[in-house]
Amino acid sequence: MIAQTIRTCFPLAARAVSQRADEINKLNVFPVPDGDTGTNMSLTLASVVRELGELPADAGMPQIAEAITHGSLMGARGNSGVITSQILRGVAEGLGAASDPVSTQDIASALRRSVKVAFKAVRKPVEGTILTVLRDISARADACEKAHDSVAEALDAIVAEAYRSVARTPDLLPVLKDNGVVDSGAFGFAIFLESFVSSALGRSSAVEDFSATFSTDASNSRLDALGRVEIEAIDDWEGSRYRYCNEFLFKAEAPIDEEEVLDFLSTMGDCELLVGSYPTYKIHVHSNIPDRVIAHMLELGQVFEVFIHNMDIEAAERRAKIRAETQAARPGAPKPIGFVAVAAGSGEADILTSLGVDVVVSGGQTMNPSTADLLEAVSRVDAESVIILPNNSNILMAAEAAATAAGDRRVVVVPTKTVPQAFSALFAVLPDATLDEAVASMTDAVIEVRDGEITRAVRDSAAADGSPIRTGDVMGIISGSIDVVGADVKSVTLECVKRMQASDEGDSLTILAGEELSDDAFADILAALSQAHPDLEIDAHRGEQPLYPVIFSIE
């Protein structure tokens, strides 16, 4: 009976999380903005549903437990998904020897096992997260066992405690309280529990039915939690040290020292997780050097199902999506700040749009947009104030003229000279910033960016040191000064980066390939840069800008 209950209820609970994934995603502010919590949890649960569906109709609890453990491990995505997989593994192991029908004692025992397994997987547990909710419901199950409550009473109490614990997460985690939200993973876990229990007890899991089907205590707990789910455009990315979320499955060729592997992962970044058991493991870590993480693990076994996410871009896309939805929910109400930016290539334009730019104006070194072009772009932005990013020194005066001629609406120019400077400036804007605060933070960010450009000479000239430049030579321009001259793009790029790092060593390099640079040539440059500067984080994109085969910046 217990096996059939799980096979029936698990898919329904997984579907409930999937249906509300977007709502859960919007809460994702801590501990890590690596992708979307609701999406990652639903993908993890969906993998279990698939494995359960492949079992024979008469499968017993041992087979069910194995399907839950293996399916959640194989499908775990993101920090939240990996932790969810360990919670499920612990419960499955705990229920492996349960009586049939299950008792309140069995439930309490399974949750105790889940707490042990999940907390062991996380080296530095954070209070106010899904782990806190797990521990709280386990304690409530223990109390129900001691009180000799029925299974239905215990399950009701566990759901009520889950929502009570979710509602308390802002009191345990300052970043949640600061942003007026509950923890996303905790909320998703409570939704899963509610739906599973509702299904197991033959009830509807619809939101509006909760108060009618559960005790008053449970209903009030849930409403308290839901009352604190205030969706806002949140960006806590400032201060994050690592850009890439790396997760992959690993099959060891011989028994490994798990603590030794975790120690290695901790030197590569943070949020390190190693879950599973010999020979198959799931690995998760945030790092700026994913290639070194994978290379090390390849020395110990096989790597497969590799996912590497750029959390910078994901955070910006999520922020832009929330802003758009917020604006759509308030038709006719302009947003506080909008953005106009100039871009020379389609790749540059796509990235700027993903970072929240409302209107991208086509233009560049040899095709400068006019004041009228920029004014027309400003007029298309539905915002109370507008910030213009000219991204070229030749466009700065036209941008300032457009700002002056904008009329009643306040328009300000942040004097970016390159598109990479605009990227950094846009990342620096907090969602709730005033115009003055946004301009100040963007300007400060631009100051920290050192840029370089690679192009070809169109006539004879001289470099900054007086050395001759012939028509067709490849020139490396560092912060506006022609400092490097050579015969090919690769060598000039490498020399420019070498000089800039020698002058003031940076941590990250953003590099854009121009339209004339092939993918193979770009890959060759990136490989050479990685070899020459192994500690430099490289964020590469196709910018498709004309005339400049390479544009880059170092921070």
Q: State percent of the chain over pLDDT 70.
A: 86
Same domain as 457, residue 442: no
* CATH number for position 372: 3.40.50.510
Inside any domain, residue 124? yes
Judgement on whether residues 466 and 542 belong to the same structural domain of the protein: yes
- Judge if 303 and 363 occupy the same domain: no
pLDDT of residue 204: 58
Q: Is the pLDDT of residue 121 over 80?
A: yes
Band of pLDDT at residue 318, cut at 50, 70 and 90: low
Q: 326 in a domain, yes or no?
A: no
Among 175-189, 320-334, 482-496, the range of highest mean pLDDT: 482-496
The answer, yes or no, to whether residue 325 has pLDDT greater than 50, is yes
Count, in order, helices (H) and strands (E) of the chain: 22, 16
Q: What is the mean pLDDT of the chain?
A: 84
pLDDT at 363 over 90: no
As a whole number of Å, the CA-based R_g of the chain is 27
* Residues 341, 390 share a domain: yes
Whether residues 415 and 455 fall in one domain: no
Q: Indicate if the pLDDT at residue 208 is higher than 60.
A: no
Domain identity same for 340 and 418: yes
Among 394, 423, 447, identify where a domain stops.
447
Of 130-134, 169-173, 345-349, which range is least confident? 169-173
Q: Is residue 327 part of a domain?
A: no
Residue 465 lies in domain: 450-554
In a domain, 190, yes or no: yes
* Cis ω for the linkage preceding 101 (within 30 of 0): yes
Same domain, 361 and 485: no
Last residue of a domain, one of 227, 255, 277: 227
402 and 457 in a single domain? The answer is no
Instruction: Specify the CATH number for the domain of residue 262.
Output: 3.30.70
Instruction: Strand 301-310: give its sheet, edge to edge.
Output: 269-277, 280-287, 244-252, 301-310
Do both 422 and 352 map to the same domain?
A: yes
- CA–CA separation, 103 and 526 (whole Å): 59
* Number of Cβ within a 10 Å radius of residue 487: 10
CATH number at residue 491: 3.30.1180.20
Considering the domain boundaries, does residue 181 fall inside one? yes
- Nearest one of 363, 361, 364 to 339, comparing CA atoms: 361
Q: Is residue 235 part of a domain?
A: no
* pLDDT reading at 210 higher than 50: no
**Same domain assignment for residues 364 and 430:** yes
Residue type, 385: S
The torsion defined by the Cα of 511, 515, 517 and 518, in degrees rounded to 10, comes to: 110
How many domains, the chain?
4
Same domain, 170 and 254: no
Verify that 178 and 78 share a domain, yes or no.
yes
Q: Which two tokens stand for residue 199?
A: 């299904």
Residues in the chain: 555
512 band by pLDDT with thresholds 50, 70 and 90: very high
Find the CATH number of the domain harbouring 39: 1.25.40.340
Is 233 within the bounds of a domain? no
Domain boundary residue among 227, 262, 287? 227
In a domain, 30, yes or no: yes
